[in-house]
Each structure stands twice: as C-alpha cells, then as structure tokens.
Amino acid sequence: MRAEVVAVGTELLLGQIVDTNSAWIGERLALSGIDCNFQTRVGDNVVRIASALRSALGRNEAVIICGGLGPTQDDLTREAIALVMDAPLRRDAAVLKTIRDRFVPRGSSRTMPANNEQQADVPEGATVIPQTMGTAPGLICPVGDKVMYALPGVPYEMHDMMERAVLPDLRRRSGQAAVIRSRTLKTWGYSESGLAELVAGRVEALEAGGPGVPTIAFLASGIEGIKLRLTVKAADDDTANKALDAEEAELRALVGEAVFGVDEETMEGAVGRLLLERGWSLGVAESLTGGLVAARVVGVPGASEWFRGAVVAYDVGVKRSVLGVADGPVVTHEAAAAMAEGARRVLGANVGLATTGVAGPAEQEGRTVGTVVVGLALPGSVPHAVELRLPGDRERVRQLATISALNVLRRRLCATGGGT
C-alpha cells in the first residue's frame, strides 16, 4: 500500500506556516507499514488542487489531503475532490445539524454564520468522518479501487481523524500486517562525503538485498553532525528491531567512536551518561563559548546528578584570579589545561572541561579566527589540551566549539576505565 500526502494552503507555499502536518502523517504511515514516497503542497486553487490529487492517485493507492475544509472562500478541497470523483456535492442534513449544534451550544443565543454550512457539503459517494473536536468533518472518498481521505488542517483535529478513521481503514485496505521502523545514528567528526566513503561497502551490500533489509540515508544536521538513518520494513516490531540491531553493529564497526548517540540522544546526554557510569562530576570553564557549553548541559534531564556548574571566564583577569591561569597568552594549550584544572578546583568536580580560542572577527594573540583550544582535567591524569580549527563566522565558530568540546570530553571518557 502506497499513500501520498497532499497539503492544501497557499500559506504553506509562501512560508507563512510550516507544514508540520505532512511530517506527522508520514511518521504515522510508516509506523503502520504504509509506504509514503511523495508529499505535495498546493495552493488554494480548485484546478491546481484537483490536478495534484489526480497526479497523486496516478502513483498511489491512497491520498491523504490535509487542509482546505474550513468555511471561508479559499477552502476549496471539497470542490476539488468532487471534480476528481466526477460527482456532485450534496449538502448532508445530518452533518449540517451536527455542525450547527457544535457551533452553537444548547441554550446559546448565537447564530451560526451561513458560510459554515458549506462544511456539510459531501461529494456523492463519499463517507463522512465525524468531527469530535471542531466543525469540519473529514471525508473518505473512493475513486475506483483507490481512495482519498480529506482531513482538517487543524493539527489536533487531523490527528484525531487519522488515528480514529484513516489509519484503521488503510490497514484494512492493505490486507497485510507490516511496520516501518527507523533508527538514527548520530556522528561527529566526519564530513558527509567522508562518512559516505567510509560506509560505502555497507550501502552497496544493502542495495543488493531484498525485503526486510534496511536502507541507509545520510542526513547532514549542521552543528549537530551527520546522521545515519537506518530504515526497514518488516512483518512486526521484533523482526524490524533485529534487522536494525544487526545493521547498527555493522556500522559501528566501521564508524567507531564517531557515533555519539542514537535517535534522540544528544552529545551532552552522551557525556552525562558516561560520567554517571564512572560516578564522576563535571565542572566547566568557558571563554569564547561564553556559557554555551553549560546551557547545553543543563538541558539534559537529571544533569544535576553530575554537573557541578560553570565559570564563564571571558576576561583575562578572571582566568588568572579565579582559575589560576598563569601570565602570558590565553589561547594556548597551557592556558586551556589550567582553566580545566581551575574548574575542577573551584567547582569541586572530578572532571574539568575548558574552552578558549578566537571566535572572531579578528585574530588574537597571533592566532587565526577559528582556533579553539579545549582543556581537559580528569582524575589520575595530567591536565592537557586539544587544539581545533573550526570554520565559519563568529557565531558558527562558537556553536561548533561547544559541541566539539563536549565531543573531546566524550571520546576521552570512552577511553577511560571505571570511575572513582
């Protein structure tokens, strides 16, 4: 069973509203094992909506239309569906009564505007999906052996109708039980082309596979790294998860510690997990990142179990008086290591992490823009530093420095044994 989502509304094309409905519908279709290979957006024009629906029906067994069922002049989905079905619109008296009763509560003196009546217009041969939350009903519209579903654009109304009517009907029509499951491996340290080259053998091997074999997609996510998304269609959750487990193991063997998280896990969440495993706490000293590291860390639920706090030592004098940095340049390995050790001491933490560098717009201490030095101080080891060269303008350098510093700490924690 293949389904396409058609989102209706000129505001979607103008960028005035972000089309989150299509993404949600696509996710729900995947969880039900229904393939969604296309998503279309079309403006408020009867001819163009009808054309989009005919094209969608030409390549799918089902089409889910979202939006254009309201009471205003630009709500034209019903008319377009009637054109595609080659059927007249009939005003359904029972639907009209339901709309009127919902619009005008019992005992109220209000009257329903006349234009709301058009929401009771139903193409001949279509079935109404009753409303439980708003006024516009949904529609199930057969076209030969195919089907169109019309749903309101209001998200909570659309969600209700999808779960209550559309998905059960699609599963019944498909006649097969299947699920589509995905798993995302998050990586840091590779370019998209570099990662693609590294896993090229696995991509080729999977492309030669058959049903039940996962596929791999690359998702560039800016300052959050490159994601490897595995997707598989299987008979049930257990079969799907086994296939994903096996392929994840293959990819981890190739990519190694560049994988920092799975699905929703963040870099800072991964750091927190590793610290908890060792019973260690973290203190941070920040210069060019100016509190960005601490802000990400405190966004992790339960961070208070392992995060002691941060010193934003932007001024050179603070670096010296609070963190114990010696006289001399502050964008150096020695200064970064001293800042990390100072964070441990001042905040009473097991682990110290520090950032210093040049975010721009000009060179500093003879160091080029994008130079970042990350300091580390861990139990039982001499404080040291790692130097990075990061691209971009001032804000991008600061953001990249934040996640890069956390990644330096993560990889060092991965290389250590148990905690103290």
Judgement on whether residues 39 and 116 belong to the same structural domain of the protein: yes
Of 112, 145, 174, the position where a domain reaches its end is 174
CATH of the domain at 208: 3.30.70.2860
How many residues can be counted in the chain?
420
Stretches in the chain below the pLDDT threshold 50: 418-420
pLDDT value for 208: 78
**Count of structural domains, the chain:** 3
**Token pair of 345 as six digits:** 């001491």
pLDDT value for 283: 98
DSSP string, 225-242: -EEEEEEEEESSHHHHHH
Of 234, 262, 290, the position where a domain reaches its end is 262
Asked if the structure places residue 8 within a domain, the reply is yes
Beta strands, E only, 289-396: 307-312, 351-357, 371-377, 384-389
Judgement on whether residues 278 and 364 belong to the same structural domain of the protein: yes
Judgement on whether residues 375 and 395 belong to the same structural domain of the protein: yes
CATH of the domain at 365: 3.90.950.20
pLDDT value for 109: 63
Judgement on whether residues 232 and 116 belong to the same structural domain of the protein: no
pLDDT of 169-212, one tens digit each?
998 998 877 788 999 999 999 989 999 999 999 999 998 777 78
pLDDT value for 99: 85
pLDDT of 129-151, one tens digit each?
998 888 889 999 999 999 999 99
Relative to beta strand 146-151, strand 62-66 is parallel
pLDDT of 233-284, one tens digit each?
898 899 999 999 999 999 999 999 999 999 999 999 999 999 999 999 999 9
Cis peptide upstream of residue 214 (ω within 30 degrees of 0): no
Judgement on whether residues 85 and 112 belong to the same structural domain of the protein: yes
Q: With left for phi above 0 and alpha for psi between -120 and 50, is residue 188 left, alpha or beta?
A: beta
Asked if the structure places residue 303 within a domain, the reply is yes
Judgement on whether residues 98 and 210 belong to the same structural domain of the protein: no
Judgement on whether residues 207 and 114 belong to the same structural domain of the protein: no
Judgement on whether residues 16 and 34 belong to the same structural domain of the protein: yes
Judgement on whether residues 142 and 44 belong to the same structural domain of the protein: yes
**Token pair of 332 as six digits:** 């150096």
pLDDT value for 74: 86
Q: Which domain holds residue 18?
A: 2-174
CA 109, CA 96: separation in Å to the nearest integer? 18
Asked if the structure places residue 420 within a domain, the reply is no
Of 229, 247, 262, the position where a domain reaches its end is 262
CA 21, CA 144: separation in Å to the nearest integer? 27
Judgement on whether residues 212 and 148 belong to the same structural domain of the protein: no
